Chain A
Amino acid sequence: MAKRLMKGAEAIGEAAIRAHCRAYFCYPITPQTEVAEYLVRRMPEVDGVFLQAESELAASNMLFGAAAAGARVFTSSSSPGIALMSEAISYIAAAELPTVFVNIMRCGPGLGGILPAQGDYLNATKGGGHGDYHCIVLAPASVQEAVDLTMSAFELAETYRTPVFVLGDGLIGQMMEPVEFKEGVVNPPPERPWATTGCKDRDPNLVKTLFLDPAALEVHNRKLAAKYREIRANEVRFERYNMDSRPETVMVAYGTVARICKTAIDFLKEKGHEVGLVRPITLYPFPHEELLAIARDEATRNVLVVEMSNGQMLEDVERATRFLKPISFFGRQGGIVPAPEEVVRELELLAS
């Protein structure tokens, strides 16, 4: 199958179609509005639903209604819009509805700007909305990976009956790269005996999140916790880059930043310096065990975390490595993407 040159946002829209998703509710926000502009044409071709809502609040709650009625659904937005959707995401996690949210991050806080950032790491991985819940969080580093992870997100959402995030920065949404849509990798939606589809020949179904009895709510929350344990045990994904030589310095970065780190590693390798990289592909579940093993390896001298934030994933790296090795941090914010030269400079400072 020939590769197509596609913008990340459009490729994500096509990936959802290929994953048999037939309903998309949205509200425009830069830098991912192209998902909507793509799907408004594409959804009718497959008899799917496209609807531009009056707000992110409405769009995300439409997603709830449609998911609870048994449809495979998704929405996309960018940081401030995701903040508004957090209400529905908490309810969806509580109601255990399979749904996919794409967050093409822009810089904040507040209205911030429209350029790339990774400032929603904590929002995505630690909850974001109220209450005790988690979402699976997938972090693509290329347009192809955005496609593959979006397709995978629908199945993960159904396997665990949980909201799944595809978390990319503005560059993932805006840049064009060649992509290939693999056929037959996502199965059509499974039976959903719990969905509200009319109670003909069965007892009524109810999708709700209110538990006024504290004991019942604790039972429900423990069930969610058990699910998150299962996710942590089964779904950790990460990439190792230049790690076979057991380098003294190991970087941890995700998304676009990880690519920048790879360029820095390649540059230093030519000069005879070995630096490694661990790129978490799942941010939740986080690759704790891998990073602990690296921290315990006597060859490892120090760890450098690079992010487009003020240090958010940094907290997970600190926890994973248990401070066994010194950790440094390099971050750019405000929509400024760190250049490979800057990462090289940070690495040289560490080595000196």
Chain B
Amino acid sequence: MEVIFKRPEALTATPTHYCPGCSHGIIHRLVAETLDELGLRERAVGVAPVGCSVLAYNYFNCDFQEAAHGRAPAFATGIKRVRPDLIVFTYQGDGDLASIGMAEIVHAANRGEKFTTIFVNNAVYGMTGGQMAPTTLSEQVTTTCPMGRDTSDVGHPIRVAELLASLETPAYVARVSAHRPHDIVAARRAIRKAFQYQAEGLCFSLVEVLATCPTNWGKTSSDAVEWLEKNMIPYFPLGELKTPGDDSVAGLTEGL
């Protein structure tokens, strides 16, 4: 009998610890499929963040390092600088990348470090139990903004992809979503491009992936998909913001 669908080699057979309806499993699979398809698994080194996906290394079947909170881009810089032959990626959430690790990601992107960042944005701190993140939407309720995010007090949510696309150096910056099948197909394409560019020796690439967190949003899985569609996508529009050879700054080119 012909096998037409199976677990990618770059994933292990470990049962997941992620909550029902969480997007991490899908995004893990997209990265793993990419490593398989491009034949990169045996020279890949992933860097796990602090956050729900700190345990990503339990699921990926490749070498991994576990970073200090927010410092994954510095780890990846160290690895790639001493071993340019390796394929290096960081996998980071919004608290990790856009709050405590903002300096590290901006400078790694600006130096054009030759690794790939998968940035999972679910607009909330997951591991610590649903606190306000830099990407928490205006009026969104979290445990540390129980009356909803007050932008007059704590500012507006940060659009990371646009911010990084405003830099001259990065090769590839895109925002995709993992909430509906056709978005997942587009996300897969973007992640594949990012790794392809790295394998070709181009500099820094980042794919921001909008993700659901039903547990901390206090929603069912299907309501969470609705909520992402209605609230996150209008504020965090999808598309490629920077592609190799494109010198224009922070303008959406085309939807995937």
Contacts and interface: CB of A to CB of B under 8 A. Distances in A.
Interface in B49-67: 54, 57, 60-67
A196 B103 contact: no
B100 to A, nearest CB: 10
B66 A210 contact: yes
Given A58-B104, A199-B42, A200-B42, A65 B63 contact: no
A49 B103 contact: no
A3 B67 CA distance: 43
B45 A64 contact: no
A107 interface: no
A70 interface: yes
Contact of B65 (A25, A201, A208): A208
Given A55-B103, A206-B66, A196 B45 contact: yes
A207 B60 CA distance: 14
A318 interface: no
Given A23-B82, A25-B78, A196 B63 contact: yes
A209 B66 contact: yes
Interface in B34-54: 41-45, 47-48, 54
A232 B80 CA distance: 36
Contact of A65 (B44, B60, B79): B79
Contacts of A66: 78-79, 81-82
A70 B81 CA distance: 12
Contacts of A70: 82-83
B43 A58 contact: no
Interface in A48-100: 49, 51, 53-55, 57-59, 61-71, 73, 87-88, 91
Contacts, number: 131
Interface string A188-227: 0000000011111100111111100000000000000000
A198 B107 contact: no
A62 B66 contact: no
A71 B85 CA distance: 14
B71 A196 contact: no
B76 interface: yes
A237 interface: no
Contact of B62 (A23, A64, A204, A210): A204
A22 interface: yes
B76 A65 contact: yes
B71 A61 contact: yes
B137 interface: no
B77 A68 contact: no
Given A198-B45, A206-B63, A68 B74 contact: no
> For B61, B67, B78, B104, which residue has the most chain A Cβ atoms within 10 angstroms?
B78
Interface string A1-40: 0000000000000000000001101000000000000000
B63 A199 contact: yes
Contact of B54 (A63, A67, A204, A210): A210
A59 B68 CA distance: 13
A62 B88 CA distance: 13
B256 to A, nearest CB: 30
Contacts of A62: 74-75, 77-78, 81
A259 B227 CA distance: 70
Given A57-B74, A61-B104, A70-B82, 6 more contacts: A57-B104, A61-B74, A66-B82, A197-B63, A198-B44, A204-B60
25 contacts: A22-B82, A49-B82, A53-B77, A54-B104, A58-B107, A61-B67, A61-B68, A61-B74, A61-B75, A61-B104, A62-B78, A65-B67, A65-B79, A66-B78, A69-B86, A196-B64, A196-B65, A198-B63, A199-B44, A199-B62, A204-B62, A204-B63, A206-B66, A208-B48, A210-B54
